[in-house]
């Protein structure tokens, strides 16, 4: 991403300085970089289909093991960023989203989950195990 977009992301994260990893509205210093890193790491796994996994750890970034939570952070940043930084980050996220849709399956029982009303990335199949 461009230097301007990186600077805008850092400014946006600082503007949400009352938050820290895992709390508040999801943005903290370095949250977008961490979310992108976890999203890409998830998609680098081998295999045709991937199952999302639940996060379970006291570590501040542990919630990002669940790629849906990482995607939530990116969505928050997309809403907070000004144009054209929003568009630039949006193009990166759109490529990752396309691969996530391709490599995960929809959860036919998502309506039973607490967050069934969430965005599409929360309605993908999970493996049912807690990992971190």
The ranges assigned to domains in the chain are 3-131
Q: What value does the mean pLDDT take over residues 110-118?
A: 65
Position 72 scores a pLDDT of 93
Q: Write out pLDDT tens, residues 97-106.
A: 999 999 999 9
Of the candidate ranges 30-44, 51-65, 78-92, the one whose mean pLDDT is the lowest = 51-65
Binning pLDDT at 50, 70 and 90, where does residue 16 land?
confident
Average pLDDT value over all residues in the chain: 85
Look up residue 32 and give its two tokens: 């977008």
Position 23 scores a pLDDT of 46
Q: Write out pLDDT tens, residues 32-47.
A: 999 999 999 999 999 9
Cβ(65)–Cβ(19) below 8 Å: no
Specify the pTM.
0.85
């Amino acid at each position: 991403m461009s230097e301007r977009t990186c600077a805008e992301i850092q400014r946006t994260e600082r503007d949400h300085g009352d938050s820290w990893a895992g709390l508040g509205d999801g943005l903290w210093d370095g949250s977008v970089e961490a979310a992108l890193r976890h999203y890409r790491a998830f998609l680098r796994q081998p295999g045709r289909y991937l199952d999302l996994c639940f996060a379970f750890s006291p570590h501040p970034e542990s919630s990002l093991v669940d790629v849906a939570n990482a995607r939530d952070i990116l969505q928050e940043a997309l809403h907070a960023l000004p144009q054209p930084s929003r568009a630039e980050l949006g193009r990166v996220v759109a490529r990752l989203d396309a691969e996530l849709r391709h490599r995960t399956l929809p959860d036919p029982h998502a309506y039973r989950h607490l967050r069934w009303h969430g965005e599409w990335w929360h309605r993908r199949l999970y493996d049912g195990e807690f990992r971190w």
